[in-house]
Amino acid sequence: MTTPMKEIAPAWPNSGPTANPADDAATAERVRLILVDDDDDFREAASAELMDFGFDVTSFADGAAMLASIAEGKMAADVIVLDWGLPSLAGIDLLPRLRREGILLPVVFLTGRTSPSHENLAFDRGALDFVDKARGVPILAKRLRLIVESSKRPRELTVDETLHCGRLMLKPRVSRAFWDDTDVNLTLTEFNIVRLLASNIGHHVTYRAVYDCMHHVGFIAGSGEHGYRTNVRSSIKRIRNKFRLVDPSFDAIENYPSFGYRWGGSSASTS
Tell me, yes or no, whether 27 and 126 share the same domain.
yes
Tell me, yes or no, whether 186 and 235 share the same domain.
yes
**Residue 100 pLDDT > 60, yes or no?**
yes
Taking the complete model, does pTM exceed 0.75, yes or no? no
Tell me, yes or no, whether 256 and 221 share the same domain.
yes
Indicate whether 15 belongs to any domain.
no
Answer whether 208's CB lies under 8 Å from 233's CB.
no
Looking only at the bridges linking them, the beta strands covering 129-132 and 107-111 are parallel
Tell me, yes or no, whether 142 and 167 share the same domain.
no
Domain boundary among 95, 120, 151: 151
Model confidence over 184-214: pLDDT tens digits?
Answer: 999 988 999 999 899 888 788 888 888 877 7
Indicate whether 38 belongs to any domain.
yes
CA 70, 47, 137, 37: dihedral to nearest 10 degrees? -60
Domain range for residue 211?
163-263
Indicate whether 1 belongs to any domain.
no
Q: Which helix (H) or strand (E) holds 235?
A: helix 228-246
Model confidence over 260-270: pLDDT tens digits?
Answer: 899 985 444 44
Answer whether 104's CB lies under 8 Å from 96's CB.
no
Answer whether 125's CB lies under 8 Å from 92's CB.
yes
Domain boundary among 107, 126, 151: 151
Residues 3, 35: Cα–Cα separation, whole Å: 10
Tell me, yes or no, whether 172 and 127 share the same domain.
no
Residues 72, 88: Cα–Cα separation, whole Å: 21
The size of the chain, in residues, is: 271
Indicate whether 179 belongs to any domain.
yes
Tell me, yes or no, whether 73 and 127 share the same domain.
yes
Indicate whether 158 belongs to any domain.
no
Indicate whether 4 belongs to any domain.
no
Indicate whether 246 belongs to any domain.
yes
Give mean pLDDT, residues 230-241: 93
Question: Phi and psi of 37, rounded to 5°?
Answer: -155, 135
Cα–Cα nearest to 242, from 183, 184, 171: 184
Tell me, yes or no, whether 128 and 89 share the same domain.
yes
Residue 89: CATH number of its domain: 3.40.50.2300
Tell me, yes or no, whether 103 and 176 share the same domain.
no
Total count of domains within the chain? 2
Model confidence over 173-189: pLDDT tens digits?
Answer: 888 999 999 999 999 88
Sheet holding 168-171, edge to edge: 163-165, 168-171, 176-179, 182-183
